[in-house]
Amino acid sequence: MKSPFRSLALFAVLAGTSLLAKADEVSVAVAANFTAPMQKIAAEFEKATGHKAQLVFGSTGKFYAQIKSGAPFQLLLAADDETPAKLVKEGDGVAGSSFTYAIGKLVLWSPKAGVVDDKGDVLRTGKFEHLSVANPKLAPYGLAAMETLKALGLADSLQPKIVLAESIGQAQQFVASGSAELGFIAYSQIHKDGKLIDGSYWLVPSKYYSQIRQDAVVLNKGKGQAAVTALTAFLKSPAAAAIIKSYGYEL
């Protein structure tokens, strides 16, 4: 079977640039849930094209506010499809440049074995003090978590136990540090090198929340920039797809 990494150098050509051309940098705002895979993708991208991706990780809601305030990002990898569409509509994103780079999955997670059962019944028992959830106004995964709790009829009863995080990355930190016994995070966050990390989790059935379609969009500051064009092409490549799937995303 042909490895998706064998033809990485071709993506420079496909993107309208060359390995011999002057290397450039692209400033990328990346949804926190996509931290680990994007770090790997950026490394392979640099090897293939010579361009560098300067990555900033955070919540999609905060990135939107920063972009509206003039932040110098050239490309946004959002945790939803609504924010990129909104930026294009409002004239801050390049029309026709949006595409879905991943479809996320929600999990309820604890770093300790045996805490979270494979049906999520721990939520009904209430035998925990704190439940970490990303702010649903800023983070699509936080919104998915609240949709799940509402679908289960537990939103009101568990409200006093919820600890809101600014991003899905912080939501995981709260659980990992012990500030919360369990929390809703992205499935990709409990993967390392394509394998599940320690702990216990419940993969939340997709029927409980709206599909988390994660879209990318070229921002006005990135229009016509070689490194931006190269990175968008690379994100659509088999090499990037292999990395993305290894972290539990769908395409």
13-34 pLDDT per residue, tens: 444 444 434 669 999 999 989 9
Which is nearest to 78 in space by CA: 184, 219, 207?
Answer: 219
**Predicted pLDDT at 10:** 44
The DSSP secondary structure of 195-237, one letter per residue, reads EE-SSEEEE--GGGS--EEEEEEEBGGGTT-HHHHHHHHHHTS
Least confident among 19-23, 55-59, 142-146, 185-189 = 19-23
pLDDT tens, position by position, 136-156: 998 889 999 999 999 999 999
Cα→Cα distances 23→41, 52, 173, 218, Å: 17, 7, 35, 19
Which is nearest to 120 in space by CA: 107, 131, 129?
Answer: 107
Neighbours of 78 (CB within 10 A): 28
pTM equals 0.80
